[in-house]
Amino acid sequence: MNDLPLRDRRDAGERLAKRLRGNVDASALVLGLPRGGVPVAAEIAHALGAALDVMVVRKLGVPGHEEFAMGAIASGGVQVLDEPLIHRLGLDDRALQTVVAREQRELERRERAFRGERPYPSLAGRQVILVDDGIATGATMRAAIRAVRRLGAEYCILAVPVAAPDSLEALRPEVDRVECLAAPADFSAVGQWYRHFDQTGDDEVRACLREQGDTQPPQA
């Protein structure tokens, strides 16, 4: 595939921006999923002259196997659960709520860390571009999509550099447009398609938001 491997998240954002340029509203809002999606989103916002913000989403990992998602939560009280998986695993409500409570605390911490006291931007009637550094199960992105829909986004674009084919196809009906550089048949993890895939820290997320400060969206 000509688009792979990606150099890093910044490279991924630059490539996606070329796909999006000329087909985005002037008032579009680019929302990066922290942490890894924010550097990608920052490049898109910079290239398009668009506003940048974050949509905080937390994966709900299976107890003892946290890398496997059984759902996700997002800003605005959105919760998405893989009910068939939870049933197959035999997880009771207490175990599930323990995970939800832990991830809710981290979600709230990240909202404070990245947004401070700044109110959430108004999404009503706006074109929103949701960005992550890749999609594996799709659980976190599904929660993000439902969150922006609940908050009134009129048109939702899903923009990711790389994705698992099945997960990408499952998400298509939930958005108005998809831009994805590649969906490899042999996908096993997001990081395998990057030359450099270092962990993104809170400071990098805040730096990305500061760099785009001049194009921050109007407040609700």
pLDDT value of residue 213: 67
Peptide bond into 58 cis (omega under 30): no
**In angstroms, rounded to a whole number, what is the distance separating the alpha carbons of residues 82 and 145?**
16
Give the span between the Cα atoms of 10 and 14, in whole angstroms: 6
| pLDDT tens digits in sequence order for the chain, 220 residues long | 456 899 999 999 999 999 999 889 888 999 999 999 999 999 999 999 999 999 999 999 999 998 888 998 988 788 889 999 999 999 999 999 999 999 999 999 999 999 888 888 889 999 999 999 999 989 889 999 999 998 899 999 999 999 999 999 999 999 999 999 999 999 999 999 999 999 999 999 999 999 876 444 433 3
For position 214, what pLDDT does the model report?
43
Paired sense of beta strands 57-62 and 177-182, if any: unpaired
CA dihedral sign, ordered 77, 111, 108, 142? positive
Which amino acid, 145? I
Name the residue among 25, 5, 30 with its Cα closest to residue 15. 5
Rounded Cα distance between 141 and 167, Å, is 10
